[in-house]
């Protein structure tokens, strides 16, 4: 398997993901995109695209939204969760650090990825949008996912998914508790009577959901072992395939070429990043309902 480190620096600085997690994520992306490669998406793209739909009919009637092959949307979904959801929200409906893409004028005016592709490739580094170097098939899949989310969100009469307080109250407390202690394995790190006691008082509604999905200031520790056998531990400051750096307890920044040292990153919050792709909307709503009882 050939590994491609597309976005190591970005994700590490965002969430302190462990390298192993990245490798599996990257491997998944690679296999998805090669599977996609055998499935030319241009043939099926936009069969009902806005261009072919004459704008007759009632006034205010919108052109039929573009339709994309489900496999492409699926692949775009995983790419989006891995690369974009940190900032734009899992459903592209906006997050703490990135705008709602389902309501973006740029997305609305996009034709086969011309506008979205340009933003993704060039980024807007000065505004907090990083640039990504992704193959065309991945960009097409991302576009399919974003446009599909837009169609979904438009069809809900402008109600924003995931942010509505009502939305946060549709879950089942019981199912949430079960998921917390069972399939979600949340209880392996958290306790409703311990660290999460009173969490619902500290964060309300959407803020709580964001804390759960993207624990922000959770930092990672790293232990670097030098060739001499000496080891240095501290807060992980940076890591990519070539360099690992930390801030030692005295605050000093130290870095090494990864080829010269062994290192082990300890980033417990990465569990959340790994979970992102697994939650269904129902899981999140149930968990939220449950967490809201922890007052
Ligand atoms: C680190 C946070 C971050 C990540 C990760 C990120 N974005 Fe962004 N994105 C932003 C910010 C901030 C903006 C708004 C920039 C501005 O104000 O011009 C933006 C803007 C955009 C826009 C333009 C929206 C508009 O209306 O102008 C698109 C499209 C977009 N991002 C898509 C993506 C995609 C696709 C990914 C994943 C491949 C991604 N972004 C990853 C932060 C991020
Ligand atoms: C492998 C360990 C691990 C697992 C599993 C895990 N978490 Fe976490 N979680 C963390 C760490 C570490 C943080 C960051 C703690 C901090 O920021 O103080 C965190 C933060 C949180 C927060 C924010 C807490 C705060 O005070 O801001 C919530 C809510 C949360 N997790 C919920 C969950 C839920 C729900 C699950 C199961 C679906 C889960 N976690 C699974 C390790 C884990």
Where do the domains of the chain lie? 70-154, 167-215+271-291, 221-266
Q: Could you tell me if the CB of 278 is within 6 A of ligand 1?
A: no
pLDDT reading at 248 higher than 60? yes
State the ligand closest to the CA atom of 132. Answer: 1
What residue's CA is closest to ligand 2, atom 40?
186
Residue 287 CA, closest ligand 2 atom number: 35
Q: Could you tell me if the CB of 88 is within 6 A of ligand 1?
A: yes
What pLDDT score does 270 carry?
67
What residue's CA is closest to ligand 2, atom 13?
269
Phi, psi at 11, each rounded to 5°: -70, -35
What pLDDT score does 69 carry?
85
Express each pLDDT in 68-88 by its tens digit. Answer: 888 888 899 999 988 898 788
What residue's CA is closest to ligand 2, atom 39?
186
pLDDT reading at 10 higher than 80? no
Residue 79 CA, closest ligand 1 atom number: 38
Q: Could you tell me if the CB of 127 is within 6 A of ligand 1?
A: yes
pLDDT reading at 54 higher than 80? no
What residue's CA is closest to ligand 1, atom 40?
84
Residue 182 binned pLDDT confidence (cut-offs 50, 70, 90): very high
Pocket test for ligand 2, best of 269, 275, 276, 293 (most atoms within 8 A of CB): 269
- Determine the distance separating the centroid of ligand 1 and the alpha carbon of 98, expressed in angstroms: 6
Percent of the chain with pLDDT over 70: 66
CATH architecture under which domain 221-266 falls: Roll (2.30)
- Determine the distance separating the centroid of ligand 2 and the alpha carbon of 284, expressed in angstroms: 13
Express each pLDDT in 202-213 by its tens digit. Answer: 877 667 776 776
Residue 117 binned pLDDT confidence (cut-offs 50, 70, 90): very high
Contacts of 57 (CB under 8 A, 6+ apart): none
Catalogue the E-assigned strands of 138-252: 221-225, 231-239, 243-247
Residue 176, SS3 per DSSP:
helix
Q: Which two tokens stand for residue 191?
A: 């306790």
pLDDT reading at 183 higher than 80? yes
What pLDDT score does 136 carry?
94
What pLDDT score does 35 carry?
33
- Determine the distance separating the centroid of ligand 2 and the alpha carbon of 208, expressed in angstroms: 11
Q: How many CA atoms lie within 13 A of 53 on its CB side?
A: 14
Residue 202 CA, closest ligand 2 atom number: 26
> What whole-number distance in Å separates Cα of residue 291 and Cα of residue 204?
10
What residue's CA is closest to ligand 1, atom 29?
116
Question: Mean pLDDT for the chain?
Answer: 73
Catalogue the E-assigned strands of the chain: 221-225, 231-239, 243-247, 253-257, 262-266
What pLDDT score does 168 carry?
61
Give the class (CATH, top level) of 70-154.
mainly alpha
> What whole-number distance in Å separates Cα of residue 115 and Cα of residue 30?
24
Express each pLDDT in 260-288 by its tens digit. Answer: 999 988 776 666 666 666 777 788 888 88
Express each pLDDT in 121-157 by its tens digit. Answer: 999 988 888 889 999 999 999 999 999 888 877 766 4
State the ligand closest to the CA atom of 16. Answer: 2
Residue 208 CA, closest ligand 2 atom number: 29
Residue 188 CA, closest ligand 2 atom number: 5
pLDDT reading at 23 higher than 80? no
Percent of the chain with pLDDT over 90: 26
State the ligand closest to the CA atom of 185. Answer: 2
Measure Cα distances from 5 to 12, 100, 131, 149, 157 in Å. Answer: 11, 27, 14, 27, 40
Q: How many CA atoms lie within 13 A of 48 on its CB side?
A: 9
């Amino acid at each position: 398997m050939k590994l491609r480190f597309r976005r190591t620096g970005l994700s590490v600085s965002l969430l302190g993901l462990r390298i192993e997690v990245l490798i599996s994520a990257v491997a998944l992306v690679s296999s998805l995109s090669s599977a996609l490669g055998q499935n030319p998406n241009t043939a099926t793209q936009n069969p009902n695209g806005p261009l072919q739909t004459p704008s007759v009919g009632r006034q205010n009637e919108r052109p039929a939204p573009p339709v994309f092959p489900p496999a492409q949307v699926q692949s775009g979904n995983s790419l989006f969760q891995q690369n974009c959801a940190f900032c734009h929200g899992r459903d592209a409906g906006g997050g703490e650090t990135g705008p709602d893409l389902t309501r973006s004028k740029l997305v609305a005016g996009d034709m086969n990825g011309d506008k979205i592709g340009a933003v993704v490739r060039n980024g807007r580094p000065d505004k907090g949008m990083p640039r990504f170097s992704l193959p065309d098939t991945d960009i097409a899949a991302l576009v399919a996912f974003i446009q599909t989310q837009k169609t979904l969100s438009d069809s809900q009469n402008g109600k924003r998914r995931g942010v509505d307080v009502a939305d946060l109250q549709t879950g089942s407390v019981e199912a949430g508790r079960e998921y917390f202690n069972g399939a979600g394995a949340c209880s392996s790190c958290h306790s409703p009577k311990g660290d999460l006691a009173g969490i619902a008082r500290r964060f309300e509604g959407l803020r709580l959901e964001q804390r759960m999905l993207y624990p922000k200031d959770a930092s990672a520790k790293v232990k670097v072992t030098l060739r001499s056998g000496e080891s240095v531990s501290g807060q992980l400051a940076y890591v990519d395939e070539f360099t690992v750096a930390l801030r030692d307890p005295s605050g000093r920044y130290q870095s090494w070429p990864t080829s010269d040292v062994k290192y082990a990153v300890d980033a417990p919050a990465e569990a959340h990043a790994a979970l992102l792709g697994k939650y269904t909307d129902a899981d999140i709503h149930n968990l939220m309902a449950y967490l809201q009882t922890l007052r």
